Amino acid sequence: MSHTEDRKQGTLLTARGIHKSFGTNHVLRGVALEVARGDVVALIGASGSGKTTVLRSLNGLETPDAGELRFDGGPVVDFGAQAGPDGGRSGRRTAARTAKTNRAALRDRSAMVFQHHNLFPHRTVLENVIEGPTQVQRVPRDTAVGRAEELLARVGLADKRDAYPHELSGGQQQRVGIVRALALQPDLLLFDEPTSALDPELVGEVLTVMKELAEEGWTMVVVTHELQFARQVASEVLFLDGGVVVERGAPAQMFTDPAEERTRRFLQRVLHPLD
């Protein structure tokens, strides 16, 4: 399942000037990031800083109000294009169609692991895992089942293939969520606070799987409050505050000598809450 050899070269994803508002709440204010193949980019920051909205904008679950996305050297998705000979209407329609097409292509090559698992409760573990490959990608069922069984064994859940989600622990459910994402064979894995809904004793089993995926060369963008994981595994850490990337850098620099006062205050609150 290792993808190290073909994931270690070139830029996979570029985002520039991403803005997103919900009503009067301007959540993202010009966010930019670049993800190289094989990178693990960790997004950290307080709740409400815009981290999850960034992640959802990267794979089309949210549509930015402005900015650009480019995936693997393909067409630029320009959310601000409005030019047109009829005063802008045809240009906006064309831009909207192009953006929708390109976002769909991006979504097809990425997969997200959600905070709350989002498994179908009335389907077995195996059925949950093969749903995307068989229904969306039109992979033959036998092929999808074989891939699912291999991946379930990979995360220690081979004996749970016929179990239902309610029969699993939270950590097991989240590992199934990771397997479901891997079964789509994406170029990019997106993790939205995958351990925040787990009891503390279950966090380690999920982080272990994620660390192994990073070591195998999977490209990942991870929204996380697990700062030790980010410190050990990430290639780059981005600190968001108020919808802005305040600081970015290698983990060693970010966690030992951050340049920005806002970053220092956040890390002090999180890493040393009783000081």
pLDDT at 95: 57
Q: What residues contact residue 163 under an 8 Å CB cut-off, 6+ apart?
A: 124, 125
Residues 229, 238: contact at Cβ < 8 Å? no
Model pTM? 0.88
pLDDT at 73: 79
Report the alpha-carbon distance of residue 44 to residue 259 in Å, rounded: 15
pLDDT at 29: 95
pLDDT at 3: 46
pLDDT at 153: 95
* CA-based torsion, 136, 53, 69, 191: positive or negative: negative
pLDDT at 117: 77
Q: What angle do CA 256, 257, 258 make, to 5 degrees?
A: 115
252 by DSSP, 3-state: which?
helix
Q: What percent of the chain has pLDDT over 90?
A: 68
pLDDT at 6: 45
Backbone angles phi, psi at 10, to 5 degrees: 85, 165
Report the alpha-carbon distance of residue 50 to residue 237 in Å, rounded: 15
Q: Are strands 188-192 and 40-44 parallel, antiparallel or unpaired?
A: unpaired
pLDDT at 98: 60
Does the structure show a pLDDT above 80 at 216? Answer: yes
pLDDT at 9: 63
Does the structure show a pLDDT above 60 at 92? Answer: no
What average pLDDT does range 225-240 have in this prediction? 94
Does the structure show a pLDDT above 90 at 133? Answer: yes
What is the Cβ-side half-sphere exposure of residue 192, based on CA atoms within 13 angstroms?
Answer: 22
Mean of pLDDT over the chain? 87
- Cα separation values, 86 from 81, 91, 256, 258, Å: 14, 8, 55, 50
Does the structure show a pLDDT above 60 at 141? Answer: yes
Does the structure show a pLDDT above 60 at 82? Answer: no
Residues 39, 233: contact at Cβ < 8 Å? no
Residues in the chain: 275
